[in-house]
Amino acid sequence: MILRKELISCVFLSVFALVFGCTNYSTTTSVQAPPTLVSITNNGNSNFTIKVRAQNPEFIFQGYRLYQAPTETLAQNPTDTNLGSDCLLAQAAIVQPIEYLFEVDPSTNPNTAGVSCRIFATLTPGSYISMRTLGLAVNLSNSTSSFRVSLPSNVLIVP
């Protein structure tokens, strides 16, 4: 009986120390690597396939955000980085240095075989696209979370 009480006390103190005494966390923002856009193909009917090379093995990795603009500069540096179209992979895929295929299509059709993710958007031929990696940002002081975006990828012109 005494051993059990000591064990319970030890567990309680350990949990208390972890919750209230943990100072081994970083307030520095983790930097996500931007993807590299390899190619874009027009599949017809407002459907495009984008080949992307990426490596984001970090725990906070969530997916990618696609930006479209009339100029190369605006595609890489939009006025609001929250206004792109998302492809959330979260823990659904192993995120290792490989090539991914993303399908960009405004319809709700299922993914084509071999496609990693569908981005529900309409691309305009002649416009420019870029992507950014999405990471999870958690604010410990008020228990909120949001997406943090990486630096921009290179730019491709929509065919």
Query: Is 146:137 a contact under the CB 8 Å cutoff?
Result: yes
Within a domain: 27: no
- Is residue 23 predicted with pLDDT exceeding 80? no
- Separation of alpha carbons 12 and 103, rounded Å: 50
Within a domain: 57: yes
Query: Is 147:137 a contact under the CB 8 Å cutoff?
Result: yes
Calculate the alpha carbon distances from 38 to 126, 127, 131 in Å.
Answer: 17, 16, 11
Q: What number of residues does the chain have?
A: 159
Q: What local confidence, expressed as pLDDT, does residue 13 receive?
A: 45
Query: Is 133:117 a contact under the CB 8 Å cutoff?
Result: no
Within a domain: 147: yes
Within a domain: 98: yes
Within a domain: 29: no
From the list 118, 90, 122, the residue with the least C-alpha distance to 102 is 118
Q: What is the CATH number of the domain that holds 131?
A: 2.60.40
Q: What local confidence, expressed as pLDDT, does residue 134 receive?
A: 86
Q: Which domain holds residue 81?
A: 36-157
Rg, Å, the chain Cα set: 21
- Is residue 14 predicted with pLDDT exceeding 60? no
Number of domains in the chain: 1
Structure token pair of residue 75: 């595609």
Within a domain: 14: no
Please tell me which of 8-17, 19-28, 91-100, 105-114 the model is most confident about, judged by mean pLDDT: 105-114
Q: Other C-beta atoms within 10 Å of 63: how many?
A: 21
Query: Is 75:68 a contact under the CB 8 Å cutoff?
Result: yes
Q: What local confidence, expressed as pLDDT, does residue 24 receive?
A: 55
Task: Return the SS3 of 103.
Answer: strand
Q: Is 77 exposed, middle or buried (0-12, 13-18, 19+ CB in 10 A)?
A: middle
Within a domain: 10: no
Please tell me which of 6-10, 89-93, 100-104 the model is most confident about, judged by mean pLDDT: 100-104
> Within 13 Å of residue 54, how many CA atoms lie on the same side as its CB?
32
Within a domain: 115: yes
Using one digit for the tens of pLDDT, what is the confidence trace for 35-74? Answer: 999 999 999 888 999 999 987 666 678 889 999 999 999 9
More confident residue, 113 or 50: 50
